[in-house]
Amino acid sequence: MKRIVTILITSAVIAGLAAGAALADKILLINGAGATFPYPLYSKWFYEYTKVDPEVNFNYQSIGSGGGIRQITAQTVDFGASDGALTDEQLKQAPGELLHIPMTAGAVVITYNIPGINEKLKLAPDAIAGIFLGRIKKWNDPIIAKDNMEINLPDQNIIVAHRSDGSGTTNIFTDYLSSVSSIWKAKVGKGTSVNWPVGLGQKGNEGVAGLVKQTPCAIGYVELAYAVKNNLQFGDIQNKSGDFIMPSIESTTAAVNGKVNSMPVDFRVSLVNPDGKDAYPIAGVTWILVYKHQADKVKGKKIIEFLRWAVTDGQKYSADLLYAPLPKSMVDKIEERINEIYY
Amino acid sequence: MRIKFVDLGFKKAVTLMALGVTALACLLVYNMAVYAIPAIHKFGPRFLFTSTWDPVKEIFGALPFIYGTIVSSMLALIIAVPVSLGIAVYLAELAPLKIRQPLSFMIELLAAIPSVVYGLWGIFVLAPFLRNFIQPFLSKYFGFLPIFQGEFYGVGMLTAGIILSIMIIPTISSISREVFLTVPFTQREVASALGATRWEAIRLGVLGYARPGVLGAVILGLGRALGETMAVTMVIGNRPEASVSLFAPSYTMASVIANEFTEATGNLYLSALIEIGLILFFVTLLLNIAARALIWKVSNKVKTV
């Protein structure tokens, strides 16, 4: 009896293993690495996509844009992901032609903590640049006060908080500062990490938000998604046409719309300071990086299918996760670009 | 014959383990040196003495990080060593036997708390407390000292030093306690027989005898302080500036590597970060050698007395 049971169990286990192996044989694993900012959306996509195509499985390591660029250049992954566009020099280092495929857009908000003030601040570009350059030192400075006449701003020192870890959020924010302030552009510039003229560095959105929340008179910048989820107070920002715009998914998509006509063919676009009355000015896109020539036929085909799905059907998952869906006009252009990939 | 064979095998195995780890350390240094070459080539010794850290313009100088690492670790030792020795003396000599075990167990438990938890506690509890109470107090009564001047941010060098000291207290105190327990009982008896009070007996009989062991404990604590990354980066303010005031934000070598490595895209940038890793290795090595020399000197003195 005991022996029969043993045999039964053993054969069941073997059959199970064999079935698993057969299934694993069929499933194609596609590896990617890079940006952390779009990771929640990407993992949602990878999960939903298994319902569209059960034969593909994605493995994505959110190690940061820098790591993503290095790995796709070294061809250790099938696709990379980055919050910042590659420079011409970086593109030249890659062994083949790398394409930037925009996936989604995000915004950066300015959060602050001024004791006793619950009204929304209105911030003009010169005020933001002045604060982060360290030229505006007090909250009641006339440059801030001129747009906030109804608020009684305190005569207190401003404490600036910024990200200490290299991040796409910093890239978007410093890109914005460079576009609105020539002094910032010359003195500091844009990048995932910069030489900040003033302020305290904190790790991650949570670090900056934490410092701002418990330091009176502090100001900092965080991702829109993080700020909304954590009920942070954030200001309306004056855009190119002079309107003060509240950061939201809609105003971020409006920012993408404002750039569609002037978009470079390789999609290495900066979204900051776009045209459009309702466009929020501190926004950016995030890209997936793939080689135009896919060496592996089977994988290449599956990657193209996935990218096409992500920029069309996949966009409906963006808003729930507080990413801004790409407008139709841009999706059309991206699909053309995806069609250029060959194997 | 068989015993000889086993003996030989054992010897080979342990030799391999010892040499293996040493070889690994050497390979590590070799690898870091190779990747650091572009930065070493570009900046030369200037890297060690300049304080601009500008990833956009690719100008790199490591002085603020070296300064921040050394000062925060020293600050941690200044706070932690007296407290740890107090704990160790109490647990080894004075505490009622019943509470010795539970108390030392609880102190050792502090070492098991992940550093990110210390960091969070640092941001949300310690930093506001320092900003609202300790920093105004220090500034009011000791503000004439340059180390207690400037604005109160809460986060900064002082906060990092305090967090580090809490993290290294379990290491230093539990090893010191073990060392005190190994001091022969006759030492205390002799001192008491000569008419020494309790304190004198501990000071002369125990502390003097245990000095080399205690220094070893301090070195281990220092090692942890130098290499600590997460907790420090959360409370130090991450500003690459070497400033005299303990209230000011600062930055350490381990923190800048952890913060910027993932998003470092340029080759020179990456290379500069790796060179900082190399410097951290050598700073740790030098401080260890210095501490060992100190032990050697002290233990010689103990023998001659």
**Rg of chain B over all Cα atoms, to the nearest angstrom:** 23
Q: What's the pLDDT score for residue B201?
A: 86
- Residues of A contacting chain B (CB within 8 angstroms): 63-67, 69-70, 84, 90, 157, 159, 164-168, 188-196, 199-203, 207, 210-211, 214-215
> Which of A92-101, A267-276, B114-123, B258-267 bottoms out in mean pLDDT, i.e. has the lowest?
B258-267
What is d(CA B254, CA B224) in angstroms, rounded to the nearest whole number?
A: 11
For residue A194, what are its two tokens?
């910069």
For residues B156-183, give the mean pLDDT.
94
Is A103 within 8 Å of A35 (Cβ atoms)?
Answer: no
Is B221 within 8 Å of B171 (Cβ atoms)?
Answer: yes
DSSP codes, A182-215: HHHHHHT--SSS---SS-EEESHHHHHHHHHHHS
Is B49 within 8 Å of B226 (Cβ atoms)?
Answer: no
For residues B56-76, give the mean pLDDT.
95
The torsion defined by the Cα of A289, A291, A292 and A293, in degrees rounded to 10, comes to -160
Q: What's the pLDDT score for residue B261?
A: 87
Residue A110 clears pLDDT 80, i.e. is over it: yes
Q: What's the pLDDT score for residue B304?
A: 41
Report yes or no: B58 at the A interface, CB cutoff 8 Å.
no
* Conformation bin of residue B150: beta by default, left when phi > 0, alpha when psi is -120 to 50: left
For residues B40-46, give the mean pLDDT.
93
CA A149 to chain centre: 34
Residue B15 clears pLDDT 70, i.e. is over it: yes
Q: Is residue B217 part of a domain?
A: yes
Residue B264 clears pLDDT 90, i.e. is over it: no
List, for residues B234-254, the tens digit of each pLDDT value. 999 999 999 999 999 999 999
Q: Is residue B3 part of a domain?
A: no
Q: What's the pLDDT score for residue A65?
A: 83
Q: What's the pLDDT score for residue A56?
A: 92
CB contact under 8 A, B234 and A192: no
CA diameter of chain B = 78
**How many domains are contained in chain B?**
1
Shortest distance, CA B217 to any CA of chain A (angstroms): 31
Q: Is residue B146 part of a domain?
A: yes
CB contact under 8 A, A66 and B264: yes
The torsion defined by the Cα of A79, A81, A84 and A86, in degrees rounded to 10, comes to -10
For residues B74-80, give the mean pLDDT.
95
Q: Which of chain B's residues have a Cβ under 8 Å away from the Cβ of A168?
A: 263
Q: Which residue of B has its CA nearest to A204?
A: B259
Q: Report pTM.
A: 0.86
Q: Which of chain A's residues have a Cβ under 8 Å away from the Cβ of B128?
A: 214
List, for residues A201-233, the tens digit of each pLDDT value. 998 888 999 999 989 999 999 999 889 888 889
DSSP codes, B211-234: HHHHHHHHHHHHHHHHH--HHHHH
Burial of A331 (0-12, 13-18, 19+ CB in 10 A): middle
Q: Which residue of A has its CA nearest to B264?
A: A66
Q: Is residue B27 part of a domain?
A: no
CB nearest to A193's CB, from B55, B127, B258: B55
Residue B305 clears pLDDT 50, i.e. is over it: no
Can you give the CATH number for the domain in which B294 is found?
1.10.3720.10
Query: Which positions ≥6 away from A29 have C-beta within 8 Å?
Result: A57, A58, A59
Q: Which of chain A's residues have a Cβ under 8 Å away from the Cβ of B151?
A: 157, 159
| Average predicted confidence (pLDDT) for chain B | 90
Report yes or no: B265 at the A interface, CB cutoff 8 Å.
yes
Q: Is residue B2 part of a domain?
A: no
Instruction: Work out the angle at residue B204's Cα, subtended by the Cα atoms of residues B201 and B209, and round it to the nearest 5 degrees.
Output: 120
Shortest distance, CA B173 to any CA of chain A (angstroms): 31
| Of residues A168, A164, A170, A176, the one with CA closest to residue A128 | A176
What is d(CA A203, CA B229) in angstroms, rounded to the nearest whole number?
A: 12
What is d(CA A55, CA B230) in angstroms, rounded to the nearest whole number?
A: 40
For residues B206-212, give the mean pLDDT.
86
**Rg of chain A over all Cα atoms, to the nearest angstrom:** 23
Residue to mutate among A164, A211, A215, A286, with most B CBs inside 10 A, is A164
ipTM: 0.84
Q: Helix, strand, coil: what percent of chain B each, to 5?
A: 80, 0, 20
For residues A139-156, give the mean pLDDT.
93
Helix or strand (DSSP H, E) at A112: strand A98-113
Q: What's the pLDDT score for residue A24?
A: 55
List, for residues A59-69, the tens digit of each pLDDT value. 999 888 888 88
Q: Which of chain B's residues have a Cβ under 8 Å away from the Cβ of A211?
A: 123, 155
Q: How many CB pairs under 8 A join A and B?
A: 98
Cα-flanking dihedrals φ and ψ of residue A247, to 5°? -65, 135
Packed helices A125-133 and A168-180: angle between N→C axes, nearest 10 degrees: 110
Helix or strand (DSSP H, E) at B59: strand B59-60
Measured CA to CA in angstroms, residue A235 lies from A222, A227, B305 at distances of 12, 11, 71
Is A89 within 8 Å of A283 (Cβ atoms)?
Answer: no
What is d(CA A326, CA B237) in angstroms, rounded to the nearest whole number?
A: 37
CB nearest to A191's CB, from B56, B131, B258: B56
Measured CA to CA in angstroms, residue A39 lies from A33, A60, A307, B88 at distances of 10, 8, 15, 48
CB nearest to B56's CB, from A70, A164, A190: A190
What is d(CA B43, CA B39) in angstroms, rounded to the nearest whole number?
A: 6
Q: Is residue B168 part of a domain?
A: yes
Residue B303 clears pLDDT 50, i.e. is over it: no
Q: Which residue of A has its CA nearest to B61?
A: A195
Residue A269 clears pLDDT 60, i.e. is over it: yes
List, for residues A122-133, the tens digit of each pLDDT value. 999 999 999 999
CB nearest to B265's CB, from A69, A189, A207: A69
Q: Is residue B31 part of a domain?
A: no
The length of chain B in residues reads 305
Residue A289: beta bridge partners? A80, A100
For residues B108-120, give the mean pLDDT.
90
Query: pLDDT band for position B302 (50/70/90)?
Result: low
Structural domain range at position B215:
45-304
For chain B, positions 187-206, list CB contacts with chain A under 8 A.
none
Q: Is residue B68 part of a domain?
A: yes
Q: What's the pLDDT score for residue A15?
A: 58
